[in-house]
Amino acid sequence: MNRKIYAVWAIVLTMAAGLTSCSDEESENATGLSVAAFYPTIVMDGTEVEITGSGLSAATDVVFPGGQSAKAIRVAGDDRIVATAPANVADLADVLTVITADGEVQSRQTIRKAKPAMRYFNPSDQAKTYEDLQIEGNDFLLVKSVEIGEGADAVKIDALDFKRKSNTNITLTLPGETPVGSSIPVKTHFQNGELLALGKLDIEKGVQPGGKWVEQEIDLYNGGDVEMGGWSGYINTIYADAFANAQIGDRIRVYIKDQTEGWQQGSFKHGSTWAGLTDELGVIGLSDDDFAKGYYEMTIDEVTLPLLQEFGLIVSGCNYTAIKVVLITNVWVSNGQETHEIELYSGDEVVMGGWSGYINTIYADAFADAQIGDIIRVYIKDQTEGWQQGSFKHGSTWAGLTDELGVIGLSNEDFERGYYEMTIDEVTLPLLQEAGLIVSGCNYTATKVVLIMNH
């Protein structure tokens, strides 16, 4: 079955037009209570708003525009709380007020109720499967998915699979299985469960782009070298959800080095019982040739796929060192669009801390051949306390490349797949080519930064 590549941008752009960069300026009162920043800056009923500052653990109320109190307040630390927006926030932007028993403080930023509205489709006359559809409107920040069609034939495209998402634009590629015909209904689902009917669209079958299948490596484990010793070492952090999209014929590869005394053996084990996935995979003799090429691997079949998808994988063995474990799968690449991944930073891991860490050695010449549509990806691990945020900054001014890219909320899903990313556009390309890039953020560790070029 053919697979399609959806440009996965949405994590990078989910906060478009609603995020603000952390600021050194804070609203503060005499008791030390302060508000430094919050996001998002437009809300719907039930939207969680993260507020940073100081003295916030004592908050008894957060008041939104229109005098509406937060439905709930969750304390994540003295410097961070999460307030759940009420239903009737005012349409007119105004400040947030944080209240404690000793006083109150107002934010410098403003916030308002989101008023999502549809303007037009592009193309407006006849959309086609396998081609892009642009949805223009207002306040799309909190869109979770777009649904096309009705009933059992409907297709839902999640925000993670949008090619672009800003507060005024959603761009997506219509999947091949999209319903075709006249007056196909289109609607959006928002994060709080609300729906917005966008109208109806005529859709016809398009031509699947020509291209080829290209192997792609997906990291399953990249957390440092593991010495296997005499069957004493192992990697047991490859969980079942890592294989959710795996298919029969995909391969699992263990990169290896350092033959030590005796016979070297590898092992692919059941993620729960520690037995071999099969008798043959439980103990695999490793040869000099395996070490010369730098890996050993297995092919997923009809026996091992359900085991991996239910229990995950343990990698073990003896007398070698495992460097990393990857899933090798095939993706469909259109003609002329082969993907090349170029390392921008692969030095020591950088612990971002509370916005104290950064990578500032990605210079302008690294982007000399970059084009609009290329992707910058930051590989990440180690969620620490509080809220995790990423950041793509101007290489000279340290401001966000755009307001949206200055502070990017990172989710559990981002850490499960191991990266967050941005897509280079007509605004960011000249900035990168003139000043380079700084990667920063808080409460995560960056392992490397790459440029993914689609040309």
Out of 13-17, 191-195, 398-402, 424-428, which region has the weakest mean confidence (pLDDT)? Answer: 13-17
**Whether the predicted pLDDT of 315 surpasses 80:** yes
Instruction: Over range 100-105, report the average pLDDT.
Output: 94
Q: Would the pLDDT of 111 be above 60?
A: yes
What letter would DSSP give residue 91?
S
9 belongs to a structural domain: no
Residue 173 lies in a domain: yes
The answer to whether position 20 is within a domain reads no
d(CA 50, CA 404): 15
Specify if 22 maps to a domain: no
Q: The CATH number of the domain where 96 resides is what? A: 2.60.40.10
pTM of the predicted structure, to 2 decimals: 0.45
Whether 15 has a pLDDT exceeding 50, the answer reads no
Token pair of 393, please? 């900054």
DSSP lists the bridge partners of residue 105 as 98
Residue 18 falls within a domain, yes or no?
no
Tell me which of 154-168, 196-210, 324-338, 438-452 is least confident: 324-338
Question: Does residue 454 surpass a pLDDT of 90?
Answer: no
Residue 70's nearest CA partner among 54, 93, 88, 58 is 88
Residue 433 has pLDDT above 80, yes or no: yes
CA angle 186, 409, 57 (to 5 degrees): 125
Q: How far is CA 430 from CA 4, 6, 273, 343, in A?
A: 30, 25, 54, 20
Beta bridge partners of 394: 437
User: Percent of the chain, pLDDT > 90?
Assistant: 70
- Picking from 89, 108, 127, the residue at the C-terminal end of a domain is 108
Chain segment 224-241, per-residue pLDDT in tens: 999 999 999 999 999 999
CA–CA distance, 216 with 335 (Å, rounded to integer): 16
Note down the domain range covering 152: 115-204
Q: Are residues 199 and 222 in the same domain?
A: no
- pLDDT tens readout for residues 325-368: 999 987 766 655 556 788 999 889 999 998 999 999 999 999 99
At residue 67, does pLDDT exceed 90? yes
pLDDT at 165: 80
Position 197 pLDDT exceeds 60: yes
- Nearest residue to 410 via CA among 132, 11, 130: 11
**What was the pLDDT predicted at 207?**
78
218 plus 191 within the same structural domain: no
Same domain membership, residue 220 and residue 324: yes
